[in-house]
A and B are shown apart, each in its own frame.
Chain A
Amino acid sequence: MPAKAGDKQRQGQSGPSGGKPAPPKPAKPAYKRRDEDVSTEAVEVVDEAGNILVKPPDQLELTEAELKEEITRVLTANNPQAPQNIIRYSFKDGLYKPISHVDQMAIHFSLNGNLIPKDSDEGRRQSIKLSTAAEKAPVETSATAPEEAAIKDEERTEDTQAAGEGKAEESGTAEAAEAADAEEPPPPAVKERKLANQFNFIDRPSWTPKYPVRDRACQSEPTPCKTLSDDINQWVIHDAYVEELRKREESKEKEKPKAQSDEINKISKAARIVERMVNQNTFDGIAQDFKYFEDESDEFRDQKGTLLPLWKFCYKGTRRLAVTAISWNPKYKDLFAVGYGSYNFMNQGKGMLLLYTMKNPSFPEYIFRTESGIMCLDFHNDYPYLVAVGFYDGNVAIYNLKKATSQPSYKSNANSGKHTEPVWQVKWQKDDMDNNLNFFSVSSDGRIVSWTLVKNELVHTDIIKLSVEGTTMQGSEELQLQTLGCGTSFDFHKKIDYLFLVGTEDGKIYKCSKCYSSQFLDVFEAHNMAVDSVSWNPYHSKVFISCSSDWTVKIWDHTIRTPMFVFDLNSAVGDVAWSPYSSTVFAAVTTDGKAHVFDLNVNKYEALCTQLVVNKMKSRITHIQFNPVYPVVVIGGERGFVVTLKLSPNLRKMPKEKKGQEVKKGPEVEIPKLDKLLNLVREPENKTEE
């Protein structure tokens, strides 16, 4: 309405001075109604103030009463366009319900503001920023700020007359700040001090590398189990005990009869006797000869004698083996042991040890087979069932005849110090101080070793090493080389225990003592070739005999370096042996198959008997041994045969018995007998004592 508009203008002019505009009341209806009472035609009316009012033609005409009527109009904040009767379905109640509260707010304009409270962190921060940036353009901001504030105020008062806000100043400054912010360029980046507090922190996460995991599981096997079920009562226990007792008694009974398991074994003893009887019957002639025959033709033979062949012992296993050792048993005078082996270096085979008795010439009493050829053997004087044996491979062994095994009871081996060369001779010694059996052995490796049986083991001790030139140390200072001589035979003195002789391969004979291991007592340049046998005289304590492959047999006095007697036998001499009954009788065998028997008492230069023992010229005789009791010699040869021969009376001459004296005279007779002989040979100055 133009009139109303004019009123408003008037009030607007008086606004700045008044300050608060009064709410425009429709309180001046007087003018207006009057204006409107007029007819529809536009009639100009002048009102009180002198203004010219124009009445529109279609103005409502009202009576004066109506014109004076006060109509109250109320302004509410309700949104006239908001719906007033919204009905909504309520799922909770399950029926349509009117919504009580309808949203009356109509948003005309929204703007996301960026006002920050001054006291907040960000506000403070920004104010600091501003203060530092204000150094650059402080004037402009201060100048523009109040101007804009003034302009803003004016605009705002005009616009918000009805609103009447009381916080003009505050909002003004806020707006001013906002304007200043908006208009000013953003201040340059300033380094400000960081305020640290519990809300102002920086997260810095980091992640260690994650190691992959692997599952490993293991399960042990369950322990093996078994089930057992049983039921016991008193009678079960009783039965068990009875059964057990019965079993025990039975086993006891079984133990008693053990020996006679074999039928033959039951009559073994009887069988043996019968066998011997048969043999005796078979070889009856020989047996008779052995016992009773005395060759009467000896009287005509001018002191020469003969050897009467008696039994021949052969065993089929020994055909290819040579007899390498013979020894009579000290206790059983008819039992002798023969060792078989081979002298042939190239053809070494197994060996055998047979024990024959003269009562049974057809089969040996004991048979032992050995791996290596036997080279020597010896019976123990006190224990006639122990035989010491030396082998070609250097071992020594002890056989126990009482035991039924075919293996030696004790045997040396490479660990226990066997010889590295064939063992040429073994001899039992007296028991040592601990009553242990011991024996000596001599071998081509130059060692003389004493073997002691300690606690079922053979323990060896080197007694002496044979070295060339009679001394053991040889060679340069650093090298202690010992060229060792090869011992081929030895013999221990019957009376003087420590004294023994060793014959070597190069023909020397060393006189040694058990006490001295590095020095010899004496050296005899005996032969030109190997000394095959050396033997002390059983009666005379100074005399010994040696034989060699250089065809000679020599008799020595150990105090004199030269031999007493030398005998040349025209063939290599295999063995020589003193007779047990006379100190002047000895026998020798040569490789041409002959046996020679000498009696120095009768003939100093020639053999009393030279007899071909072996038929075949090829095979040689290797050993000879006198029987300690009977006038019998055993001769063994290369082809494995063994013969016994009886000595004819001429060979067994005893000194004539004087009447009134004892029949048999032992050493006392023999020694002077030999001495006499020796004295003839020796030079008169060297008289020896007895």
Chain B
Amino acid sequence: MADTGEGKKEESDYKRLHSFPLIRHTDMPEEMRVEAMELCVTACEKYATNNESAAKMIKEMMDKKFGSSWHVVIGEAFGFEITHEVKNLLYMFFGGSLAVCVWKCS
């Protein structure tokens, strides 16, 4: 019991520690990157249980701000191969277990 309790505690600690947004790969310019990152964090926190709604929110906001057309994938485990316009890709981790990939390609 104690072990599992500790395990849980560790897990929550780890979650807390690892929940900051960590950029895995991006080639966006600085301000776009900052904005996109904040947007992703907001969306993921708002729709913590529903990846689709979070992705929808991110995609719509990005379309509005930076032009069409953006694509967003949120998930915990996936593989992908995408073609993106240069300087319009953001690939980041968030919340310890979520990965968000945002790119633009018309």
Residues of A at under 8 Å CB distance from B? 223-234, 237-238, 240-242, 244-245
A96→B46 CA distance, assembly (Å): 99
B93:A227 contact, CB within 8 angstroms? no
- Residues of A close to B106: CB separation below 8 A: 223
Q: Quick one: which of B82, B89, B96 contacts A241, CB cutoff 8 A?
A: B96
CB distance from A674 to the nearest CB of B (A): 70
- Residues of B close to A234: CB separation below 8 A: 76-77, 97
Known: A223-B106, A227-B83. A232 touches B77 (CB 8 A): yes
Q: Considering only CB atoms and an 8 Å cut-off, how many residues of chain B contact the other chain?
A: 27
Known: A225-B105, A240-B22. A232 touches B86 (CB 8 A): no
CB distance from A238 to the nearest CB of B (A): 7
Q: Quick one: which of A230, A231, A238 contacts B18, CB cutoff 8 A?
A: A238
B81:A227 contact, CB within 8 angstroms? yes
- Residues of A close to B64: CB separation below 8 A: none
A252→B22 CA distance, assembly (Å): 18
Q: B24 near A: Cβ within 8 Å?
A: yes
Q: Quick one: which of B17, B78, B85, B89 contacts A232, CB cutoff 8 A?
A: B78
A220→B98 CA distance, assembly (Å): 38
- Residues of B close to A225: CB separation below 8 A: 83-86, 105
16 additional contacts, CB 8 Å, given A225-B105, A227-B84? A223-B85, A224-B86, A225-B83, A226-B84, A228-B81, A228-B89, A228-B103, A229-B80, A230-B24, A230-B91, A231-B78, A232-B78, A238-B18, A240-B24, A244-B22, A245-B17
A224:B85 contact, CB within 8 angstroms? yes
A228:B77 contact, CB within 8 angstroms? no
A242→B18 CA distance, assembly (Å): 8
- Residues of A close to B97: CB separation below 8 A: 234, 237
A242→B80 CA distance, assembly (Å): 23
- Residues of A close to B82: CB separation below 8 A: 227-229
Known: A231-B79, A233-B77. A241 touches B18 (CB 8 A): yes
CB distance from A536 to the nearest CB of B (A): 59
Interface of A is mostly: mixed
A226→B75 CA distance, assembly (Å): 22
Closest residue of chain A to B24, judged by CB?
A: A240
Q: Can you list, as one digit per residue, whether each of B67-79 has a CB less than 8 Å from chain A (1) or not (0)?
A: 0000000011111
Closest residue of chain A to B79, judged by CB?
A: A231
- Residues of A close to B18: CB separation below 8 A: 237-238, 241-242, 245
Known: A223-B106, A232-B79, A232-B99. A237 touches B84 (CB 8 A): no
CB distance from A526 to the nearest CB of B (A): 65
- Residues of A close to B8: CB separation below 8 A: none
- Residues of A close to B75: CB separation below 8 A: 232
- Residues of A close to B80: CB separation below 8 A: 228-231
Q: B9 near A: Cβ within 8 Å?
A: no
A422→B82 CA distance, assembly (Å): 69
A181→B85 CA distance, assembly (Å): 93
- Residues of B close to A226: CB separation below 8 A: 83-86, 89
Q: B25 near A: Cβ within 8 Å?
A: yes
Closest residue of chain A to B99, judged by CB?
A: A232
Residue of A227, A232, A240 with most partner-chain B CB within 10 A: A232
CB distance from B82 to the nearest CB of A (A): 6
CB distance from A114 to the nearest CB of B (A): 79
CB distance from A219 to the nearest CB of B (A): 15
CB distance from B91 to the nearest CB of A (A): 7
A244→B77 CA distance, assembly (Å): 20
A228:B17 contact, CB within 8 angstroms? no
- Residues of A close to B98: CB separation below 8 A: 237
Closest residue of chain A to B78, judged by CB?
A: A232
A240:B93 contact, CB within 8 angstroms? yes
A224→B103 CA distance, assembly (Å): 13
Report the 6 A-B pairs with minimum CB-CB distance, sorted nearest first. Answer: A229-B81, A231-B79, A241-B18, A224-B86, A233-B77, A227-B83
A231→B76 CA distance, assembly (Å): 11
| Interface pairs (6), CB distance under 8 Å | A227-B81, A227-B82, A230-B91, A232-B79, A237-B18, A238-B18
Residue of A227, A230, A240 with most partner-chain B CB within 10 A: A230
A681→B51 CA distance, assembly (Å): 101
- Residues of A close to B85: CB separation below 8 A: 223-226
- Residues of B close to A224: CB separation below 8 A: 85-86
